[in-house]
Amino acid sequence: METTVHMFGVQRARLALQRLTIVLAFLGVCAAPLVAYVFRPVYGVWILALLLWIFALLRIVVPGRPWFAARGRAVDAFLYAGIGAAIMYFSPFTAVIGAI
């Protein structure tokens, strides 16, 4: 009987984590262009890079295969972190973009 209750708790936790990551991704992707438009384009780029780093950490921490997994855990985390680092490296070039 305890095993069934435990499984429902684990399933509920996984569903909550899935919903949280979907909301985080949605808010981050929506916030980036808004911040870039209102403030500076580089701030929107930083939000995207930060979002990728957060998902790299989540990919390392979250057990199993969440919805944002594509390959192995280490490969996904490395790619997310690497793409985030590349975005941060090239972000100063968005400073030369004029106003829309």
Q: How many domains are contained in the chain?
A: 1
pLDDT of residue 41: 85
The pair of three-digit structure tokens given for residue 19, joined into one six-digit string: 């919903």
- Confidence bin at 11 (pLDDT 50/70/90): confident
Residue 1 has pLDDT above 50, yes or no: no
The pair of three-digit structure tokens given for residue 69, joined into one six-digit string: 């997994």
Residue 44 has pLDDT above 60, yes or no: yes
The pair of three-digit structure tokens given for residue 67, joined into one six-digit string: 């919805």
Q: Who contacts 78 (Cβ-Cβ below 8 Å, separation ≥6)?
A: 56
pLDDT of residue 60: 92
Query: The domain containing residue 42 runs over which residues?
Result: 2-96
66, 59 Cβ separation under 8 angstroms: yes
